[in-house]
């Protein structure tokens, strides 16, 4: 097979691992920076070009599209879809998961448990907004944030008011979310491929840090999931329409709570913590998917 990996950096751990895994299985994989792609949109002969080259003959695409280029990255991916090339995650599913408000609303509609969450842009009554999630301590997040950026823990109502007012001055869309104290600064990253969780890690924030993101200096260790946690992660991925994703859960007194779904989950932390060859499993999923389409 000829596989395109849409990533802005060929030297990233995930990009290198996917290229190596594809090569080990006899495939030709190449990293393409989506911001350097351009497209000819026509119903008769759609095409996509990269640095002057017409990208013909690809069998599959692995999107590794960063949040900062979601709009253009998904447009490039959609062009591959127009050309009937298999995409590991499709553009609609990635866009859906990146819109935190829409994703939360869809998950809630389908009965997926989450921390109590309120969305706002310019609330007339901040007190009501705080009350909606049960008061402080609470978490305030920028809707457009990622990797723990734009996430603040407000430990008192006064602190919450100050943070919300500050974000309002930036004309930003925000989420105000219930703080799950019993999680103790940890979350669970479930790596879903197809209809199963292939690996899971517990991420622990640094001392005095409630955010557990590995980008923020957190640590990771392999964790055994409960049947309910496993089923919740798989169901959340299916609702989003993602074949491959990271589903982040909090362990609460009322069961697992979904806090985020990542359509381009990094491989380094989870592969090193679990010893599992997830890149190989992703290539295997592509092979089986294309074999199924050929029948």
Evaluate the CA torsion angle 72, 77, 81, 84 in order and state its sign. positive
Q: Are 277 and 21 in contact (CB under 8 A)?
A: yes
β-strand partners of 40: 47
- If you average pLDDT over every residue of the chain, what do you get? 90
Question: Residue 253 class from Cβ within 10 Å (0-12 exposed, 13-18 middle, 19+ buried)?
Answer: exposed
Query: If you average pLDDT over residues 125-142, what whole number do you get?
Result: 89
> CATH number of the domain at 117-179, please?
3.30.1490.20
b/e map of 168-180 (b: 16 or more CB within 10 Å)? eeeebbbbbbbbb
H/E element holding 279? helix 278-294
CATH superfamily for domain 182-282: ATP-grasp fold, B domain (3.30.470.20)
H/E element holding 223? none
Q: Is the peptide bond before 137 cis (omega within 30 degrees of 0)?
A: yes
DSSP state letter for 67: G
- What lies within 8 Å, CB to CB, of 192 at 6+ separation is 198, 233, 234, 237, 242, 244, 245, 246, 247
Q: Are 290 and 86 in contact (CB under 8 A)?
A: yes
The 10 Å Cβ neighbour count of residue 102 is 12
Maximum alpha-carbon separation in the chain:
62
For residue 76, report the phi and psi dihedrals to the nearest 5 degrees.
Answer: -65, -45
**Confidence tier at 82 by pLDDT (50, 70, 90):** very high
pLDDT tens-digit readout, 144-187: 655 557 788 899 999 999 988 888 888 878 889 999 988 888 99
Start-to-end C-alpha separation, the chain: 17
pLDDT tens-digit readout, 258-279: 999 999 999 999 999 999 999 9
**pLDDT at residue 279, as a whole number:** 98
Cα–Cα distance measured from residue 69 to residue 111, given in angstroms and rounded to the nearest whole number: 30
**Confidence tier at 121 by pLDDT (50, 70, 90):** confident
> Where is average pLDDT lowest: 14-28, 172-186, 236-250?
172-186
The 10 Å Cβ neighbour count of residue 128 is 11
Helices (H), 99-226: 100-109, 126-132, 157-169
Domain ranges of the chain: 2-96, 117-179, 182-282
Helix (H, G, I), strand (E, B) or coil at 177: strand
Residue appearing with tokens 């943070």: 163
Q: Which tokens hold the place of 15?
A: 């990009």
Q: Are 116 and 254 in contact (CB under 8 A)?
A: no
Question: Residue 257 class from Cβ within 10 Å (0-12 exposed, 13-18 middle, 19+ buried)?
Answer: buried
Q: Are 30 and 3 in contact (CB under 8 A)?
A: yes
> CATH number of the domain at 2-96, please?
3.40.50.20
């Amino acid at each position: 097979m000829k596989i395109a990996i849409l990533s802005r950096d060929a030297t990233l751990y995930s990009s290198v691992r996917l290229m190596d895994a594809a090569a080990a299985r006899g495939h030709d994989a190449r990293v393409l920076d989506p911001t350097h792609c351009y497209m000819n949109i026509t119903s008769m002969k759609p095409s996509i070009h990269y640095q002057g080259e017409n990208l013909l003959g690809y069998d599959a695409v692995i999107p590794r599209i960063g949040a900062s280029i979601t709009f253009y990255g998904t447009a490039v991916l959609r062009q591959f879809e127009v050309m009937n090339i298999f995409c590991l995650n499709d553009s609609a599913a990635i866009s859906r998961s990146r819109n935190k408000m829409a994703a939360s609303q869809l998950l809630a509609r389908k009965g997926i448990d989450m921390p109590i969450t309120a969305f706002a842009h310019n609330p007339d009554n901040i007190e009501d907004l705080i009350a909606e999630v049960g008061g402080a301590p609470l978490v305030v997040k920028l809707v457009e944030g990622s990797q723990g950026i734009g996430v603040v823990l407000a430990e008192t109502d006064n602190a919450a008011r100050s943070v919300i007012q500050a974000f309002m001055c930036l004309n930003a869309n925000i989420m105000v979310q219930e703080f799950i104290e019993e999680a103790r600064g940890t979350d669970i990253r479930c790596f879903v491929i197809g209809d199963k969780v292939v690996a899971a890690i517990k991420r622990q924030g640094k001392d005095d840090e409630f955010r557990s993101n590995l980008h923020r200096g957190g640590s990771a260790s392999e964790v055994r999931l409960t049947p309910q946690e496993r089923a919740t992660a798989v169901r959340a991925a299916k609702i989003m329409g993602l074949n491959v994703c990271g589903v982040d859960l909090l362990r609460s007194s009322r069961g697992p709570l979904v806090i985020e779904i990542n359509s381009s989950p990094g491989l380094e932390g989870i592969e090193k913590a679990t010893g599992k060859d997830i890149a190989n499993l992703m290539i295997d999923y592509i092979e089986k998917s294309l074999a199924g389409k050929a029948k």
